[in-house]
Chain A
Amino acid sequence: MNPVRSISLQDLGEVDPHSPLGLEWDQIVRTNPASGFMQSAHWAKYKRQSGWTVHHLGLFDNDQLFGGAIFYAAQNAKGAGFLAAPDGPVLPWEDLERAESGLQMLVACTQSDARSLGSMAMRIAPRLSALPGEILRHFSRAPLNLTEPKTLYLDLSNGPEALLRGIKPKARYNIGLAERRGVSIREENSLSAARDFHTLMQTVAVRNGFAVEPLSVFVSLIETLCPEGVARVFFAEHEGNILAAMLMIKFGDRATYLYGGTSEIKRNLMGGYALHWAAIKSACESGAKIYDFWGFDPGVAPDHSYAGFSRFKSQFCGTSIELIGTWDFYFMDQLADVVIRAFKEVSVT
């Protein structure tokens, strides 16, 4: 017979990452394999600073915090918003009964507050590789992903030397070539990195036909997360030219290659290889056990624009990971509310 449990839920408000509660929360997130940096108090601080609404709910078991979720929402969504928990919710998925109770409480709480939160749905993306029993039976697969559902993990536990031996010869050769040709790596975590980084990202975006976030995103990210050691910015350079850059997130035992790209110049110097190798070594030194390449799909057609990215990443010989992706739960009354509002607007025009 299960012991009697008293699970409760509290709105944790704005949690300072350095407060006792913030430290406790981040420790829970860090040690939960199905969560990640986007559920950390640090990331919440960055999002809040960037103008998002952040809603932090904690689950307690006999007054002991054991999970919860940080939901992010657009301001002024006029009732049509989403409460999104990338890398969340943070639940003890190994204990399905407890996880289900926790999820039900999160749904009930957000649903009852949906109107005041201006949201019509909850959107979650736990880092699970298989559906947790029937727990998500009331959720549906979302049309958008909050995080990369297919990615590549590089196991860092054996250290850089073993890693270098394990990667494909071409990658090893290119890393050595970059070094021999004088490509250097600079870690620059001050705000002055933001402009150079964004400029490079724009170049890459134009070349690849992507949209890139505005400069303010990188300024906020670097300003909030670099001093904490959560974000780190690396540049591969040669004689004053920036060849490649990346922004890496280190949280818990995972280092994530979140943003990055290579410039147009001196591509024969293999700055991208040098950059990744430096970041991998640095991740090892900072105690990370996994390097997440953040997006990997070797199954796409060879002429697909992502095929090249996946080919590049695959040379580091990681493990392909497939997660369950992102799931939606609509608050039906709130959705009806907002659709009725739309009907009324078009009926009086």
Chain B
Amino acid sequence: MSEECERIAELLVDHAAGAGSPRQKAFINKHVEACPICARELQALRNTNELLAKMELEPAPDLWDAIRPNLQPRPAPSRTSWIARHWLKSTAATAAVAAAIAAWMITAPKTPTFDQQAVLMNHAAMSWSTPFADKAALGLIEVIGAEQ
């Protein structure tokens, strides 16, 4: 057996099954044409594949009859149930959004409250020169209230 035969022997199994690149196939075919040992081996491999492909047994013809009674009928999905399913889905989605908004409203930080007292006192200070103005009176009331 030549060195080339040894190289080809490794590729023959897949070659017999039709596998391999076109270049590899051409290389093997050329070698096999000139080498009766490899040609015999290739034929034996092809015969093996043929033998394997013929190894097929049929199951008992009445096997389906044994299976059929065990298959429970499946109710085809009706249009009503489809609508009901989708109505349920959309209702659940709406409820989830409403719950999220409510949760946000409860937990969200409040806007800082307007410091009414500080503003009035400021007004009172600014209108000190016009003691009879409304805003001065309001400031005065606030100052008195705060002192009490």
A and B: interacting chains = no
Q: Which residues of B contact A (CB under 8 A)?
A: none
